[in-house]
Structure 1
Amino acid sequence: MTTKVLVISPHTDDGELGCGGSIAKFIEEGYEVTYVALSCCEKSIPPQYPKDILSREVKSATKILGITDLVLFSFEVREFPRLRQEILDTLIRLRNKIQPDMVFTPSRNDTHQDHKITVEETMRAFKKCTLLGYEQPWNNITFNTLAFIPLTENYIQKKIDALSCYETQKGKAYLNHEFVRGLALTRGTQIEEKYAEAFEVIKWVIH
């Protein structure tokens, strides 16, 4: 049976930042990967760009990683606390449709209000599968590095190339190629590999 992986990204680019290298690895190994972005952040678009620019950028980025199953929603950025029931209902519909074995979501220690709601509702919606929280140091005061996925240069380069699609976000420090590679080197060193991505274990289900 093919392993089904669901990546839940509160906003476009969160999934690539948190587990882009792992996504590329999973797809190359034959896993079925679905990427869901709950918001395309129209309110946050710089005025010089069209309102749909982030939806275009996420399509380009996920294509580089090899994703063919991309699902985009339009929940309003920074309003997830108000919309949490609708988000839960959406996640339950996704669960019933995809029936994933493994779900990637933000960390429980993520301080962004939209990310906090995403992981809380993910925990409510997905009770029968493994849940891993991905790392985003700019939002994490603490992060429990309890699971690691070793990566090769090829997967890190795909992650960097995918993130390069976000022209609208290029000024963000966490999109800097040196930062992306440096974090992967740090996590790789912890498990005596060249590169890795680290995750918080929210729930581990062994079938």
Structure 2
Amino acid sequence: MIRLDTGAVTEIALLAAHCDDLAIGLGGTLLTLAETVPGLRVRALILTGAGTERAREEERALEAFCPGADLELRILDVPDGYAPAHWERAKDAVAGLRRGSSAQLVFAPQRGDAHQDHRLLAELAPTIFRDHLILGYEILKWESDTPQPTVFHPLPEGCAERKAELLMKHYPSQRDHDWFDEQSFLGLSRLRGVQCRARHAEAFLLDKATITFGGA
């Protein structure tokens, strides 16, 4: 399989509609980046959950998924399921993240996500982060919207298991969902691993990128 390298990454921007989206969609990638990039800067924006137990869960979870990173997290109180009705506020928040960020890499929901809150961020991201590499992550849930990814990140040994453990530890409010368990998370990462000749992997969708042949 042909490998493409991102080059040096010192800061990343994360966009999510809900607390736990980031950990589900790219928890293994966050663990890998935090452990391989000393002093990684992480700037995260989440649209919903401010002032609730879910926000407190998210704060503790991202600290665990980004060990040693310089983490800044902003959580808004947009009503869950109604983000499109708060389009202006959401766009202003994403634009604010862009102004305060020097990120080389942006993670946002993928455009084909069936949840309207996720799709809103997927549509906003490229209109604001115009010159960035944007990777759309997939969020495991009950809707039949599993995408056909174009970019795969093979996870280091033990990383997928660590991701599943941290998800179960830090999001107790979600354990009543019949799909929220370690088998689900490991099943998806194993499937993505099969698709890129690895044991486990996380997968992303890439709308646009430039390529330089023959080196820098």
Normalising by the smaller structure, the TM-score range is 0.7 to 0.9
Gaps of 5+ in 1: 43-50
Deviation, 1:137, is 4.2
Aligned residue for 1:83, secondary structure, equals: helix
What is the TM-score when the length of structure 2 is the normalising length? Answer: 0.84
8 Å CA contact retained: 1:6, 1:35: yes
Matched, 1:39 2:48: yes
User: Residue 46 of structure 1 corresponds to which residue in structure 2?
Assistant: none
Aligned AA (1:16): A
Deviation, 1:206, is 5.2
Deviation, 1:205, is 4.6
8 Å CA contact retained: 2:98, 2:128: yes
Out of 26, 29, 32, which is 2:33 matched to? Answer: 26
- What is the alpha-carbon distance in structure 2 between the residues aligned to residue 21 and residue 71 of structure 1? 21
Out of 138, 145, 150, which is 2:154 matched to? Answer: 150
Give the CA RMSD over aligned residues.
1.9
- What is the alpha-carbon distance in structure 1 between the residues aligned to residue 103 and residue 24 of structure 2? 21
Deviation, 1:160, is 1.5
**Shift in alpha-carbon separation, 1:142–1:79, aligned structure 2, 3 A:** same
- What is the alpha-carbon distance in structure 1 between the residues aligned to residue 87 and residue 100 of structure 2? 20
C-alpha distance after superposition, 1:19-48 (max 9, x if no partner): 1100110111114222321111x7xxxxxx
8 Å CA contact retained: 1:145, 1:198: yes
- What is the alpha-carbon distance in structure 2 between the residues aligned to residue 22 and residue 205 of structure 1? 22
Aligned AA (1:168): S
8 Å CA contact retained: 2:155, 2:202: yes
Matched, 1:159 2:163: yes
Report the number of matched residues: 198
What is the TM-score when the length of structure 1 is the normalising length? Answer: 0.87
Aligned residue for 2:63, secondary structure, equals: helix
Gaps of 5+ in 2: 1-7
What fraction of aligned residue pairs are identical, expressed as a percent? 27
- What is the alpha-carbon distance in structure 2 between the residues aligned to residue 20 and residue 65 of structure 1? 6
Deviation, 1:140, is 5.1
8 Å CA contact retained: 1:18, 1:135: yes
